[in-house]
Structure 1
Amino acid sequence: MGSGQELWKRAKSVIAGGNMLLSKRPEMFLPEFWPAYFSKAKGCRVWDLDNTEFIDMGFMSVGTNTLGYGHPEVDDAVRRTVDLGNMSTLNAPEEVALAERLIKMHPWSDMARFARTGGEANAIAIRIARAATGRDNVAICGYHGWHDWYLAANLGDSEKLAGHLLPGLNPNGVPHELAGSTIPFNYNDFDQLEQIVRTQNLAAIKMEVMRNHAPENNFLQRVRDLSRQFGVVLILDECTSGFRQEFGGLHKGFGIEPDMAVFGKALGNGYAATGVIGRRAIMEAAQNTFISSTFWTERIGSAAALATLDVMEREKSWEVITRTGEAVTRGWHAMAARHGISIKTSGLAALTSFAFEGPNGLAYKTLITQELLDKGYLAGTSFYASIAHTPDIIDDYFTALDSVFSLIAECENGRDVMGLLKGPVCHSGFKRLN
């Protein structure tokens, strides 16, 4: 057992849930063997507490670092900010520059509000939409965080959000009076959404532009038209999709202009910076309610975001990571075909993933993580691309993956996959830790 696993055992006794993000729990990757903690990170390489070097062919810190870890220009901007001072009684001028930059990038918008996490930004957007419309109910499609307004969808049925990224999200602690205030709908199911809009007196439709599958039958434009018809605020959650296929929001590529959009993850390239932009008539409702937090005014996030946008624009990072993700997706299909394995791929090119068809899918995912960890990779069945993932790194990754697919092919022909695993199968969603 390495230093990281030893520390994780200690963490579970002093931190409820072990850490602050479900997606970084070792049990989500390789229970009992995942290195758990890092000592440093640069480019697409991560060193654990024992100074073992890995190439991150997985989540790249759950999608925050499209420019790679520790990009020098972004880090330099942060160092300058630290030298000048991060907080004071006065405001940071960078937040004005960031607001103007995002609004210029999205001409349909007029105003912005900033936070430091995606869940906060989504909660801000919902509060503003409710204040602007005087209504309470919200229709949602996608993953939008942990706050009460979102988990209220699972009150009375803890599986309503199961298809929106994570199954098993228990709404314990969410007031039962919120039951029925958040209504999920399925992506591309316009009839279902239309029925909700006609009967639920909605304040907002909040949805991801796209996660696993592309819109069909002009779905996004029909949603836009429906929301206008009923005076419902359309909020597009771009926390995950923003700056990956377009310079700005993914909605730009589909020609859809929402009433509000939410950005996070990639905006600060690893530094905490999230925001909401929207139309003036809606955003000004923020002044009719109370939305305020001390550390939303810190300077590092805005400074990092401005530097990140500069590098993105110069390098056309969204084009680079899209090409990289497309190459990886093609490689998975080719390798699966060569080994006679059936897989399905999904997601944006720069947020691509694959799944095995059949009952052993989760065990195969665990096997991939186990075997590639031994070969020096942090990997599973998802890949979040960065500009640090050069073609030679991708080629070496597929060389390493080939032997694992060979093992999986043997399992498909009768070998017991459980006999190949050194520990338990990884978790697929929320589970209470022992």
Structure 2
Amino acid sequence: MGTGQELYKKAKYLIPGGTMLLSKRPEMFLPDQWPSYFSKAKGCKVWDLDGKELIDMSIMGIGTNTLGYGNDEVDAAVMETVKKGNMSTLNCPEEVYLAEKLIEINPWADMVRFARSGGEANSIAIRIARAASGRDKVAICGYHGWHDWYLSANHNGGDDLSSHLLGGLSPNGVPKNLKNTVYPFNYNNFEELLSIVDTNEIGVIKMEVVRNFGPEDNFLHKVRKLATDRNIVLIFDECTSGFRETFGGIYQKYGVEPDMAMYGKTIGNGYALTAVVGKREVMEAAQNTFISSTFWTERIGSTAALATLKVMEEVKSWEIITAIGNKMRKGWQQLADEYNLKITISGIPSLSTYSFNSDKALEYKTFIAQEMLAKGYLASTNFYASTAHNEENLKLYFEALNDVYSIISDCEKGIKNIDELLNGPVCHGGFKRLN
């Protein structure tokens, strides 16, 4: 057993759940065999605690590092900040420069608040929007973090979030009197949203702009008009989708502007920074409530974000990662066709995922992680593209994956038994979402 697995065994005793992020639990990939921890990371390479070099053809820090791990320009800016001092009694000027840049990128917006995680940014946006609208009830479409306001949807009289997007999220610890404050609606189902708005005092509509598929029948334009007509604050959660298909929000593709938007994940290339941008008349409501935190004032996050945005703009990173993502999807489909396997590909190109249309889908996913790890890859049935990935990475990845698909094909034909080929337990299903 590797050093990483040994450490993870210890972690499960010391840390509830073993990790800070559900999506990084080894059980989501390859239970009892995943390396679990890294010693260093650069470009699209990761080294485990045993010094083994692995090519990351999986989720690249859960989609944070679109410029690759340890981008030289971003890291140089951060190191300069570390030398000069990260924290003081005074504020860091970078937060003002970053606010200016984000308003330039989102010309409909006037003001910005910063945080350090996506869940925080979502909670900040909800607090401000509720204060601005004067109404408590929220209609949601998408994944918006772990805070009470969101999970309270599962108190509504069923597992609302399960049918909506993700199952198995227990609202234990979330006050039951938050019941019926948040109402999920399904993407592209405008009638469902209209019904929620007609029958409840909705003050906020919060949604991801796209999910596994884009809007149909002018869905986003209808939502925008409804919000305007009913004086509802419209929030686009771009924590995941931002800076992946445009320089800024993916909303730009559809010609619809929100009242507020959140950015996270990509904006600092792995350094902690999230942002809430919005119209002045909405954002000013932040002064009529209490939103404040010590570490939102540290300097590394805003420094990293400024440097990341500069590099992104120079290299047009969103175009590069979309092209790489499309090549990956094409390669998956070609392999599946070659071996007569049925797969379903979803997500936006730079955040691509697929599943086997088989009752053994999870077993095959586990087998891919197992076999590709032995070949020197961190891989599963998803791929989050970065500018550090290149043609050679894809070529060698598909050469390795070809052998794995060949065996899966034999399993589907009944020639081999997948259960006999797995060296450990089957991976957990996890929840389906954009990323």
Give the TM-score of the pair, scaled to structure 2.
0.97
**2:156 and 2:180 in contact (8 A); partners too:** no
Change (3 A) 1:26 1:348: same
Tell me, yes or no, if the aligned pair for 1:155 and 1:171 is still in contact at 8 Å: yes
Residue aligning to 1:315: 315
Structure 2 CA distance for partners of 1:164 and 1:329, relative to 1, 3 Å: farther
Deviation at 1:419, TM superposition (A): 1.1
Partner AA of 1:295 in structure 2: F
**Which residue pairs with 1:298 in the alignment?**
298
Q: Name the counterpart of 1:385.
A: 385
1:121 maps to 121
Identical positions, percent? 62
1:166 Cα deviation from its structure 2 partner: 3.4
Partners of 2:277 and 2:142 in 1: CA distance:
19
CA contact (8 A) 1:158 1:168 kept: no
> In the TM superposition, what whole-angstrom CA distance separates every residue of 1:142-192 from its partner, at most 9, and x where no partner exists?
111000000001115563212555321100000000011111111111111
Distance 1:348 1:411, change over 3 A: same
* Residue equivalent to 2:343: 343
Counterpart secondary structure, 1:23: helix
Please name the residue that 1:112 is paired with. 112
Residues in 2 aligned to 1:325 and 1:164: alpha-carbon distance in whole angstroms: 26
| Whole-Å separation in 1 of the counterparts to 2:409 and 2:422 | 15
Q: Which TM-score applies when normalising by structure 1? A: 0.98
User: CA offsets, 1:26-80, max 9 Å, x none?
Assistant: 0011000000000000000000000001111110010000000000000000000
Q: 2:261 matched to 1:255?
A: no
2:27 corresponds in structure 1 to: 27
Asked whether the equivalents of residues 53 and 376 of structure 2 are also in contact (C-alpha less than 8 Å), the reply is: yes
Q: Which runs of 5+ in 2 are unaligned?
A: none
Unaligned runs of at least 5 residues, structure 1: none
Deviations 1:331-377 (A, max 9, x none): 11111000000011111110011111121111111111111010111
**Aligned residue in 2 for 1:427:** 428
SS in 1 for 2:291: coil
Question: What number of residue pairs does the alignment pair up?
Answer: 430
Contact 2:131 2:289 in 1 (8 A): yes
Q: Contact between 1:32 and 1:423, CA under 8 Å: does it hold in 2?
A: yes
What CA distance in whole angstroms lies between the structure 2 residues aligned with 1:411 and 1:224? 49
Question: SS at 2:354's partner residue?
Answer: strand
Give the Cα separation in 2 of the matches to 1:396 and 1:226. Answer: 49
Asked if 1:273 corresponds to 2:261, the answer is no
Aligned equivalents of 1:375 and 1:113: distance in 2? 44
Judged with a 3 Å threshold, the aligned counterparts in structure 2 of structure 1 residues 158 and 27 are, in CA distance, closer, same or farther, namely farther
Superposed displacement of residue 211, structure 1: 2.1
Decide which moves more: 233-242 or 356-365.
Answer: 356-365
Asked whether the 8 Å contact 2:119–2:144 carries over to 1, the reply is yes
Structure 1 SS opposite 2:160: coil
Q: Residue 68 of structure 2 aligns with which residue? A: 68
**Counterpart amino acid of residue 306 in structure 1:** L
| RMSD of aligned residue pairs (Cα, Å) | 1.0
- Corresponding residue for residue 196 of structure 1: 196
More off after superposition, 208-217 vs 38-47: 208-217
The residue type equivalent to 1:363 in the other structure is: E
- Taking a change above 3 Å as real, the CA distance of residues 60 and 5 of structure 1, as seen in their structure-2 partners, is same
User: Cα deviations across residues 209-256 of structure 1 (Å, max 9, x unaligned)?
Assistant: 112111111111111111111111110000000000000000011111
Alignment of 1:5-20 (within 5 A): 5-20=5-20
Q: Equivalents in 2 of 1:156, 1:125: separation in Å?
A: 22
Which one-letter code corresponds to 2:10 in the other structure?
R
1:181 aligns with 2:169: no
Q: Supply the AA of the counterpart residue of 1:341.
A: L
Contact 2:351 2:385 in 1 (8 A): yes
